Amino acid sequence: VQLQASGGGLEQAGGSLRLSCAVSGRTFENYAMSWFRQGPGEEREFVAGISRSGRKIAYENSVKGRFTASSDAKNTVYLQMNSLKSEDTDIYYCAASLGTPWDSVRADVREYAYWGQGTQVTVSS
């Protein structure tokens, strides 16, 4: 499976960006899909994820109420990011997991075998 992330860029604090991740390869609905982010010298951290069933969506606490993860029937997942803050500045990655339980969202990077190339998000204050 291949993941292609896009949509990053430079935005002012309080603004919005939408990230997209196009998934190709094996059947899309078999995968749990998540977004992670990573800053220089930092570990990659979980941002938001959608379970394989699509019924559960989970968020990291600092983005709750500001970010929204979603997917469509065209094998694309999205991360709508509103009310951006300077601390949201990072490289954002989409990731796919085949082995998680049907209604679970996992925040551990080790659960994800497939990764996109990352897209830079920079928020100016």
Distance between CA 19 and CA 93 in Å, rounded? Answer: 10
What's the pLDDT at 74?
A: 76
Point out which residues pair with 23 in neighbouring strands. 3
| Contact present, 4 and 116 (Cβ < 8 Å) | yes
pLDDT tens digits in sequence order for the chain, 125 residues long = 899 999 999 999 999 999 999 998 876 668 999 999 999 999 999 999 999 999 999 999 999 999 999 998 778 999 999 999 999 999 999 999 988 899 999 999 999 999 999 999 999 99
**What's 25's DSSP letter?**
S
